[in-house]
Amino acid sequence: MDFKSIVAVVGEDFAAVDTFIADSLRSQVPLVNEVGQYIVQGGGKRLRPLVCLLAARACGHREGDDHIRVAGIIELLHTATLLHDDVVDDSGLRRGRATANARWDNPTAVLVGDYLISKAFQLVVSLRNITVMDIMAHGTCVIAEGEVLQLINQRDPATTEARYMEVIYGKTAKLFECAAESGASLGNTALQPAFAAYARHLGAAFQIIDDVLDYTSSADVMGKNVGDDLAEGKPTLPLIQAMKLAEPTDAELIREAIRTGGLEHLEQILELVRSSGALDYTMARAKEESDLALAALADVPASPYRKALEDLTRLALARNS
Amino acid sequence: MDFKSIVAVVGEDFAAVDTFIADSLRSQVPLVNEVGQYIVQGGGKRLRPLVCLLAARACGHREGDDHIRVAGIIELLHTATLLHDDVVDDSGLRRGRATANARWDNPTAVLVGDYLISKAFQLVVSLRNITVMDIMAHGTCVIAEGEVLQLINQRDPATTEARYMEVIYGKTAKLFECAAESGASLGNTALQPAFAAYARHLGAAFQIIDDVLDYTSSADVMGKNVGDDLAEGKPTLPLIQAMKLAEPTDAELIREAIRTGGLEHLEQILELVRSSGALDYTMARAKEESDLALAALADVPASPYRKALEDLTRLALARNS
């Protein structure tokens, strides 16, 4: 199945999530509406809500629209973190469009992000579902810790693969996990741990691929600049592994680039990341994570929803943007 | 009663709130601990938790420690907004100490603020009290909207008193309201609306006084710089009223100062705010709000707790820092 066919498995629900998000963003304060709409319409693939919907359906959830609400809340939380991430990283471009901090300013992006977090909190509470509340409440703490941990690692060439994995678990995998776990909790709760594990590994694979693409893709395809991570001194897995594999003087060049940030040695470092075998290693780690994701679904009864989640995992690994 | 005597009415509970906050801030991520402790220990008077504790006791809440938890959550939310406010306003000084964004940097202040919001959310959910959840969930949305509204008003000399009141209701009064309402909800729920109204007006009075002090106090006493609001182009009530009362050319000077921000004409504007009668008008508005706060308690049974809340209102009006 390609992405379109996967979406089609929960087609109506997927469209309903967008309506729910648009309705939720209506505020009395015009700037909140404007920025909220701008960011949410900026799009992205809505992967996290998709995972949530498929998990809910795969677990037999059939009644009502709580799965749509939960999926929408997940996307609102994701949007809030994007707003703040772009402030923190001083990013100007996301998905081919100006970021909110670039189009408006940092104060607007910080405060509208706060509004989205609060709104998500309010919507979670309005579900009156204590399991979902616990998942989201714990999840947002882990995500926030992951973001702070990423900040600590920044410009630190001593960052290990273990610390890198801790960061991507927090900043990316956890929200995927929340999406699948809360979706699953609406149906057969015995399957919750399987879906949590599935999405945790899917999210990790997704982020590792993201970090590879930062060195291999192009601005046209990605909608953001190549080498952004290097420019910000972020020690992602391709760099961590290249430092291990490269000759000492080359490794020192990478260490220095992480310490200082900037793109002065981009071409040389791109070449080192490729020639050292660091990219192959990183791709293999992503493959391991996606295999673990698939394995987690082993005991889940077969269904078009499970099949869609499996295919989504393969697509996430093969993507180029 | 002076402030110390008011605190003594709930002395043990008040100390327990600090312990609860310190425990809640323990994170696996050292930077989160460090910044969190720094800000919370930076102090402030813990007015909001105090109001929460007194409201809970005045409403007959006696069993367990939910009032301490709720009061602590309120202070965590307050701390999170301070962290983000200081980023938004680019403030360097608060309560006589460097702000987190000044001591660390903006990314740290934004992300640790996000952690505190998430942590507060998690603690609210862990109370398993749907009334408190609703109060907090709705409250944080109103607060976030108030912050965005303040941003819209900034550098806009056409800001009316009504728009100013809307901002201070959102950014300040609402959290006082949440504190008193959630505290009251732990006891005699019939009294909830009275305490909500009390704290809403107390919070408004408190903020109006704050905005007066920005023109009349000194850095030594306030622990922040005089004229901060003017420097940021914030049309607070002293300026809004001075524009109404002053001669056309003087009013135009104020308008221009709001449009551009900065302290170029601070002395002249201080003089206009004083001589025009704008400060007297603003103080009278604060008095009105504090009278409304006291009136809201009229039907609350007499108790040392009610007395303490009344005296707190008088102190808030008379404070000079």
pLDDT above 70 covers what percent of chain A? 98
Q: Give per-residue pLDDT as tens, A127-143.
A: 999 999 999 999 999 99
Mean pLDDT of A23-29: 90
Task: Please check the confidence at residue B241 and state whether its pLDDT lies above 70.
Answer: yes
Task: Please check the confidence at residue B119 and state whether its pLDDT lies above 70.
Answer: yes
Asked if A151's CB is within 8 angstroms of B107's CB, the reply is: yes
Name residue B93's beta-bridge partners: B98
Answer whether B117's CB lies under 8 Å from B40's CB.
no
- The chain A residue lying nearest B113, using CA atoms, is A144
**pLDDT at position A228:** 86
- The chain B residue lying nearest A147, using CA atoms, is B111
pLDDT above 90 covers what percent of chain A? 88
Task: Please check the confidence at residue A126 and state whether its pLDDT lies above 90.
Answer: yes
Show residues of chain B in contact with A108, CB under 8 Å: 148, 151
Task: Please check the confidence at residue A48 and state whether its pLDDT lies above 90.
Answer: yes
**pLDDT at position A252:** 96
For B44: left if phi > 0, alpha if psi spans -120 to 50, otherwise beta; the answer is left
Mean pLDDT of B224-253: 93
Q: How many CB atoms within 10 Å of residue B295?
A: 13
Mean pLDDT of B15-24: 95
State the Cα angle at A249 between A245 and A254, rounded to 5°.
65
Summary mean pLDDT of chain A: 94
Answer whether A208's CB lies under 8 Å from A162's CB.
no
CATH of the domain at A167: 1.10.600.10
Q: Exposed/middle/buried for A212, CB within 10 Å: 0-12, 13-18, 19+?
A: buried
User: Taking the C-alpha atoms of A205, A148, B86 and B172 in order, what is their torsion angle to the nearest 10 degrees?
Assistant: 80
DSSP code of residue B187:
S
Q: A6 CA to chain B: closest CA distance, Å?
A: 32
Summary mean pLDDT of chain B: 94
Cα dihedral across residues A148, A152, A157, A163: positive or negative? negative
**pLDDT at position A222:** 62
User: Taking the C-alpha atoms of A85, A89, A92 and A98 in order, what is their torsion angle to the nearest 10 degrees?
Assistant: 0
| CA separation, residue B240 to residues A246, A316, B157, B234, B237 (Å) | 65, 56, 8, 10, 5
Q: Give per-residue pLDDT as tens, B90-109.
A: 999 888 899 999 999 999 99
Element (H, E) at B62: none
Both tokens of residue A316?
Answer: 């996430």
Mean pLDDT of B305-313: 98
Question: Which domain does A103 fall in, by range?
Answer: 3-318
CA nearest B83: which of B133, B50, B42?
B42
In order, the DSSP letters of B264-307 are: TTHHHHHHHHHHTTHHHHHHHHHHHHHHHHHHHTTTSPP-HHHH
Read off the pLDDT band of A230 (50, 70, 90).
Answer: very high
**pLDDT at position B133:** 98
Q: Give per-residue pLDDT as tens, B179-238.
A: 999 999 999 999 999 999 999 999 999 999 999 999 987 766 666 667 889 999 999 999
Cα–chain center distance at A89: 16
Rounded distance between C-alpha atoms, residue A269 and residue B13, angstroms = 58
Q: Domain count for chain A, please give it.
A: 1
Which H, E and C letters describe chain A, residue by residue? CCHHHHHHHCHHHHHHHHHHHHHHCCCCCHHHHHHHHHHHHCCCCCHHHHHHHHHHHHCCCCCCCHHHHHHHHHHHHHHHHHHHHHHHCCCCEECCEECHHHHCCHHHHHHHHHHHHHHHHHHHHHCCCHHHHHHHHHHHHHHHHHHHHHHHHCCCCCCCHHHHHHHHHHHHHHHHHHHHHHHHHCCCHHHHHHHHHHHHHHHHHHHHHHHHHHHHCCHHHHCCCCCHHHHCCCCCHHHHHHHHHCCHHHHHHHHHHHHHCCCCCHHHHHHHHHHCCHHHHHHHHHHHHHHHHHHHCCCCCCCHHHHHHHHHHHHHHHCCC
Q: What is the ipTM of this complex?
A: 0.95
Which H, E and C letters describe B98-130, residue by residue? ECHHHHCCHHHHHHHHHHHHHHHHHHHHHCCCH
Task: Please check the confidence at residue A218 and state whether its pLDDT lies above 80.
Answer: no
Q: Which residues of A have a CB under 8 Å from any CB of B?
A: 27-32, 84, 87-89, 106-108, 110-115, 117-119, 121-122, 124-126, 128, 130, 133-134, 136-138, 140-141, 143-145, 147-149, 151-152
Residue partners of A115: CB distance under 8 A and separation at least 6: A27, A32, A36, B141, B144, B145, B147, B148
Mean pLDDT of A65-82: 97
Most confident option among A37-46, A90-99, A270-279, B41-50: A270-279
Asked if B148's CB is within 8 angstroms of A29's CB, the reply is: yes
Most confident option among A73-87, A90-104, B87-101: A73-87
Rounded distance between C-alpha atoms, residue A137 and residue B189, angstroms = 26
Q: Which residues of B have a CB under 8 Å from any CB of A?
A: 27-32, 81, 84, 87-89, 106-108, 110-115, 117-119, 121-122, 124-126, 128, 130, 133-134, 136-138, 140-141, 143-145, 147-149, 151-152
Read off the pLDDT band of A272 (50, 70, 90).
Answer: very high
CB pairs A-B closer than 8 Å: 135
Q: Give per-residue pLDDT as tens, B34-84.
A: 998 898 888 789 999 999 999 999 999 999 999 999 999 999 999 999 999
Backbone angles phi, psi at A27, to 5 degrees: -125, 160
pLDDT above 70 covers what percent of chain B? 98
Asked if B28's CB is within 8 angstroms of A148's CB, the reply is: no
pLDDT above 90 covers what percent of chain B? 87
Task: Please check the confidence at residue A219 and state whether its pLDDT lies above 90.
Answer: no
